[in-house]
Structure 1
């Protein structure tokens, strides 16, 4: 009993020590510093997630994004209820508010956060109320009142940017922003009918910058003339201040003219990507382009493809386009780079430096001379108190945060577009080669790649028996984290090679304008349609992918020596990539995610029962080959049986390995194009924040071209009573 009493007394003593003024101050200091470093991590890694599919990194970003807001509220509460007086608490409170809106590269973690823009506004108001209460308690006087006013002006600036960015990315905000562009694009193709030249971009009046200057001008005469076609869209006019793609290509300044400083058209392509991003954004607001506009865009894509390694240029344009799209939804850049906003950002940085120096100057002498041990301040050997050092550390961290953000924004694609458009608009710059070289240097600086540039892989025969750790994935943790599920284990990602991009782009070019045929066209060209087309008309697209994936896996094992064959690599990479989409990202595929998940887990269950006890790849392949060579006594026609049979058809044909892999490579490339059209634009934007998907790049291309997937006229209804195909 005595031991228990001593333990309780010790616990009470510890709790009493935690409730002292010094302990409370230390807690506030720790929380303020922690919030500062959380914001620094958001600034550095906020946009990194579109270049990396690392779950640990995403978890850290989510923790920093979520915790920082709660820590600010909690710390402000501790400050207002503190039982002690400290002159630096109001300064810390305002710095916390600055942190509340400081991460320009991570304004939102998910699309749902954008819809809560009004919630963010209310949070800002509540936090400002807490700061106001703290200022009233301390009765701040001149000159510190002026310093706090300077810092608080920065609070309003940064939080306003974030509120506006969230609003623009929300559903209602997108509608407001996209309406004018949708009206203009419904008319744009008519302004250049019969006068289109994608080489010189003649007739491509796609807006790059300045759409807010598009004016609605309708005179009475024009209204009378438009009675037959009463559409106010026809009254949209491009003013001189609006920069279009046509104007960029017509620019005669040294930087952009033919034979000048942009011989490979990389700078002009940045403007093209930005303009196409505006068109792609219309899909998220329920707007669509007319058929003539899609045909015009397709001519542009054909032109990009027709120049040597055109597929590389086309995918590069799409890469940058999707990076703009990511920034539109998840960063403050669309607001910061509005006209006249960039100078405001620079002024904000100067305000921060001036306010920081004034704060340190006013409080420095006070804390150096303060040696009273009865005060809450904790004096150090150098007679500088810890709380003063904390203030200095926070200000240094925040200056670093802003400096890093300025550097990242200065070399961002948004800054490049802004500079290039100013160059096009400002005639005096055209004759200055020095100005052109400076802009060229800035615009050609790229420290980071736009996205991950990898194909994630999944092998069914390697991962079907995978079971997640029950320590990490169980009923309790299911409330907090997503479970991968049995049989879901990614293989090592493959580098997105030029041969894969070329194969897919070639299939895209040969598909338009015909109806997409789910792989049948490639089989027809290789003269194997009558034998293999049965595997293209299965009940669901998930079954088609898995059947061909199993067959490709069998052929891959049998022809391991063909790894040097480009068709071998194209077929195996795309096979495992589409299998990965089935297992992990079925929202990007045609089937309903619920149906795809049910079919996938049913296949996993059947495969585990079928291959039980076969631990090596050799044994598993051998079993599948046996299934492919014999009929099931009950006439079972499962997906696994179909895949095994298809694999045997490929291996036992009269064609050699090279022709087999040519058939498979062209089939998988065509299948990629077939599944690319999608109305689920939201799913693609969500994946942009997870390292990006190659499927999203292809989706952007087919969206511009207006390619849609038609339902198959005939699908085989497979059941137990069906016979095996010949």
Structure 2
């Protein structure tokens, strides 16, 4: 009885639903469904080619989310549209315009191939190249089936052939680029050919034979001199902007790309790079520009069709696809009746115009890239090169393209006290809490970005170049990479009592110095402080907030530890302090309250080790830093110089411990300062990823 009643209820609901939705609406939707999908697919391609590459140098969450949604939706919508076309092709006589609609099938193949500016949204997408290859086979079969079903001998049928060729090339380029960007193929492309070395068996046969003949055989080892000249042809065209940086960046990229695959440098490469970047004439600005070029090239190699497009074959294929699209468009324009252009023909014309625009724009992007400008810089100035350079400069201004924009030059910031104080208003917070989404995005609301100042880059470069003088062997490099503020404290006799703060786990040390820097900052930065003191304070605070951002938002880039637990426990203790003093509304007040707490008895003796909070341990460290002025007679400038040096050393330690794969992942988010520091350390020889080679010597037999 109950089942019958439920069945009757469901049947009545279905009947009512059919009454609510008129048959006319269903008919309209069946007509518009495919057409809307095709138009949306086109506009998604337009969005991706315009903005897919801009995430390399724009660190904007809204842009990243938009690109992510477009990237995922583009494939899905094109696939669904092809499926609907194949379904309608079973009965092509139902729609008199089906012969026109069949032309959309190869266009959808072109869309599935995607634009040149983005092949992979994340580095993991490259591992799915085999799935894309299978998709190419399947989608090509569907497109061929649609064209076959629409075949009636009309001249319009022949328009599909050139578009089909363009679609196969585009989809094939994307699959090929994904394969080249996959971890296995990427590593294989970097590894040099196998080197068996000198023929040891033949050498020993000669040695034994000569000895048997009565000769006194001596072994002489001759060392092959190291080639320290990195030039690959002089820069012939100085009018190219950043020509020197492009020249050096392209050269060192071919050497240091192995670090992104967690491979090692040879001793020769290590020594060549170290000698070049240790030169006095190389400034910090030029060094960072070279690194920007290298990281920009790595982004292109992993996330775009650059490896395919910037080759001779790629340029040839681009001419083929453009010629196919243009010839098909001309043919279609001649065949259609211009007096009776309906909606389907308008959509087809839009697809043709869009495809031609995308081809032209992709050529402009190619010409405006670092790859083309580097090629131009190696050619002597003549009227042909000059016209091409001026045309490229014009395109760059018109389409807001620039080969000099290679990363965002921003460092995200996250402050523990601000997060606990909740001093930033959040829109619709009650609604978010009701739907339980506030907790998901809570940390991102209190994250912001700051421009990386030139003074900070200069400080990092100078400290690392000074260290690099000691990077002579692997043991020395390991010791330099292991330093995380302890060296700075050891060099200052007055700072020995603070050494405990750098001997604990790295995440604990980071939190201690972050809070202590905040506590000192608000008591020292005032109107009476000199510009030099304020600059050191600002650099220290920027690094402090940036390192905490890495701990909270990108923990995979830091050494392993329980940083998340320590952060949460410290926030809980800070929130407890704030709840007892509800009058507090500013960060300065929070710092004053924490500094007033007596910590004569260490917190660990009172609380034990159950809570991992470091709030009042950081207060002890802050008091020790303050005592440098009161008891040790340090100036504020000396104190903040020391603090900034500690932070630089901690940043460098974190950079050296992060795998190349994780650095590569962050390139799609506008780049990270820690990645630039990691590559700078490698250029200066401060890396564990190199091996002293014993193979640059050759043995000879001396007969007496």
TM-score range with shorter-chain normalisation?
0.7 to 0.9
1:688 Cα shift?
A: 0.8
Q: Which residue of 1 is the match for residue 151 of structure 2?
A: 139
How far apart in 2 are the matches of 1:159 and 1:118?
13
Q: Which residue of 2 is the match for residue 150 of structure 1?
A: 162
Q: Which residue of 1 is the match for residue 373 of structure 2?
A: 416
Q: Which residue of 1 is the match for residue 72 of structure 2?
A: 66
How far apart in 1 are the matches of 2:299 and 2:620?
43
- 1:183-332 alignment runs, 5 A limit: 245-249=230-234, 254-255=236-237, 261=239, 266-303=242-279, 306-307=280-281, 310-332=283-305
Q: Which residue of 2 is the match for residue 600 of structure 1?
A: 567
Q: Deviations over 1:563-590 (max 9, x none)?
A: 8332122111111111111111111112
The question of whether the paired residues in 2 share the 8 Å contact of 1:519 and 1:670 is answered with yes
How far apart in 1 are the matches of 2:405 and 2:545?
24
TM-score of the two chains, using structure 2 as the length reference = 0.80
The question of whether the paired residues in 1 share the 8 Å contact of 2:118 and 2:305 is answered with yes
Q: Which residue of 1 is the match for residue 511 of structure 2?
A: 546
The question of whether the paired residues in 2 share the 8 Å contact of 1:107 and 1:330 is answered with yes
Q: Which residue of 2 is the match for residue 349 of structure 1?
A: 322
* Residue of 463, 468, 475 corresponding to 2:419: 463
Q: Which residue of 2 is the match for residue 535 of structure 1?
A: 501
1:12 Cα shift?
A: 3.5
The question of whether the paired residues in 2 share the 8 Å contact of 1:319 and 1:697 is answered with yes
1:454 Cα shift?
A: 0.9
The question of whether the paired residues in 2 share the 8 Å contact of 1:611 and 1:623 is answered with no
How far apart in 1 are the matches of 2:82 and 2:444?
44
Task: Kindly report the root-mean-square deviation, in angstroms, between the aligned alpha carbons of the 2 structures.
Answer: 3.3
- 1:658 counterpart = 2:658: no
Q: Which residue of 1 is the match for residue 307 of structure 2?
A: 334
The verdict on how the C-alpha distance between 1:476 and 1:405 changes in structure 2, with shifts beyond 3 A counting, is farther
How far apart in 1 are the matches of 2:433 and 2:419?
17
The verdict on how the C-alpha distance between 1:476 and 1:394 changes in structure 2, with shifts beyond 3 A counting, is farther
Indicate the SS of the match to 2:450.
strand
The question of whether the paired residues in 2 share the 8 Å contact of 1:547 and 1:642 is answered with yes
Indicate the SS of the match to 1:689.
helix
1:420 Cα shift?
A: 4.2
1:58 Cα shift?
A: 1.3
Query: RCO (CA 8 Å, sep 6+): is it higher in 1 or 2?
Result: 2
Consecutive unaligned residues in structure 2, runs of 5 or more: 1-10, 207-228, 690-704
The question of whether the paired residues in 2 share the 8 Å contact of 1:326 and 1:688 is answered with yes
The question of whether the paired residues in 2 share the 8 Å contact of 1:456 and 1:490 is answered with no
Q: Which residue of 1 is the match for residue 333 of structure 2?
A: 360
The question of whether the paired residues in 2 share the 8 Å contact of 1:520 and 1:533 is answered with yes
Q: Which residue of 2 is the match for residue 719 of structure 1?
A: none
How far apart in 1 are the matches of 2:356 and 2:589?
61
The verdict on how the C-alpha distance between 1:71 and 1:659 changes in structure 2, with shifts beyond 3 A counting, is same
The question of whether the paired residues in 2 share the 8 Å contact of 1:416 and 1:442 is answered with no
- 1:434 counterpart = 2:401: no
1:558 Cα shift?
A: 0.5
The question of whether the paired residues in 2 share the 8 Å contact of 1:79 and 1:134 is answered with yes
Consecutive unaligned residues in structure 1, runs of 5 or more: 188-217, 229-243, 370-383, 424-429, 711-726
TM-score of the two chains, using structure 1 as the length reference = 0.78
- 1:79 counterpart = 2:85: yes
The verdict on how the C-alpha distance between 1:463 and 1:686 changes in structure 2, with shifts beyond 3 A counting, is same
Q: Which residue of 1 is the match for residue 555 of structure 2?
A: 586
Structure richer in helix, relative to its length: 2
- 1:28 counterpart = 2:16: no
Indicate the SS of the match to 1:682.
helix
1:499 Cα shift?
A: 0.2
Q: Deviations over 1:292-311 (max 9, x none)?
A: 421221112212xx226x11
1:497 Cα shift?
A: 0.8
